[in-house]
Amino acid sequence: MNQTSRKIRVLVAKPGLDGHDRGAKVIARALRDAGMEVIYTGLRQTPEMIAAAALQEDVDAVGVSILSGAHNTLCPRIVSLLREEGLNDTLVVLGGIVPKEDIPKLKEQGVAEVFLPGTSTQDIADFIRNNVKPRD
């Protein structure tokens, strides 16, 4: 990436009813410190609101934080709504409490990576940087 290129833009999203936003906020700040532009949705966003925000903010990646066990319901819907908006290249990653058995299915449904507890913020930043679709 050269000096003049556009900063990577990431939407950190917190869908569902859960209010535990420690992870989402730590990640948002860590990605900012890693040189990205981060937009945090705030709590209790529906998949529709998240897709609309991704479109409006023209982001390269959406980072979804879910700890409540609702990921199998919420994540596929977020991905399909993004695709419906024509955001075919937007990278979707998930962080939170996710049973290992659920991961293959989530990946099939378009989640690029699932980060479990204990992942370093550096690894997450690196993954996003290496996997977003380059733009001019």
Partner 1 sequence: MPLTEQTDKSPQTRQSERKQSFQTVSLEEVDRLYDRSDVGDIDFDRDISTPGDFPYTRGIHATGYRGKLWTMRQFAGFGTPEETNERFKYLMKEGQTGLSVAYDLPALMGYDADSLLSEGEVGKCGVAVSSLADMEALFDGIPLEMVTVSQTINAPASVFLAMYLVVAEKQRADWKKISGTLQNDILKEYIAQKEWIYPIRSAMKLVIDTFEFCTEHVPRYNPISVSGYHIREAGATALQELAFTLRDGIEYVDWGMRAGLDLERFVPRISFFFNAHNDFFEEIAKYRAARRIWARTMRERFGSSDERTMKLRFHTQTAGVSLTVQQPLNNIVRVAIQALAGVLGGTQSLHTDAYDEALALPTDRAALIALRTQQIIAEETGVANTVDPLGGSYFVEALTNKMEQGALDYFERIDAMGGMVEAVEKGFPQREIQESAYQYQKSLERGDQTIVGVNKFEMKDELQEIPILVIDESVRHQQVERLERVRSERDGGAVSRTLDVLRLAAQRGENTMPATIDAVREYATLGEICSALRDVYGVYEEPAI
Cβ closest to partner 1, residue 1 vs residue 97 = 97
Backbone dihedral region for residue 35 (phi beyond 0: left; psi -120 to 50: alpha; all else: beta): left
Distance CA 61, CA 11 (A): 6
Shortest reach from residue 117's CB to partner 1, in Å: 5
Cβ closest to partner 1, residue 8 vs residue 47 = 47
Residues of this chain that bind partner 1 (CB under 8 A): 16-22, 25-26, 29-30, 42-44, 46, 68-70, 72-74, 97, 99, 116-118, 120-122
Shortest reach from residue 33's CB to partner 1, in Å: 9
Distance CA 11, CA 38 (A): 6
Cβ closest to partner 1, residue 51 vs residue 74 = 74
- Positive or negative CA dihedral for 123, 105, 65, 128? positive
Shortest reach from residue 26's CB to partner 1, in Å: 5
Shortest reach from residue 49's CB to partner 1, in Å: 12
H or E segment and range at residue 118? none
Task: Report yes or no: 64 and 95 within 8 Å, Cβ to Cβ.
Answer: yes
Cβ closest to partner 1, residue 110 vs residue 119 = 119
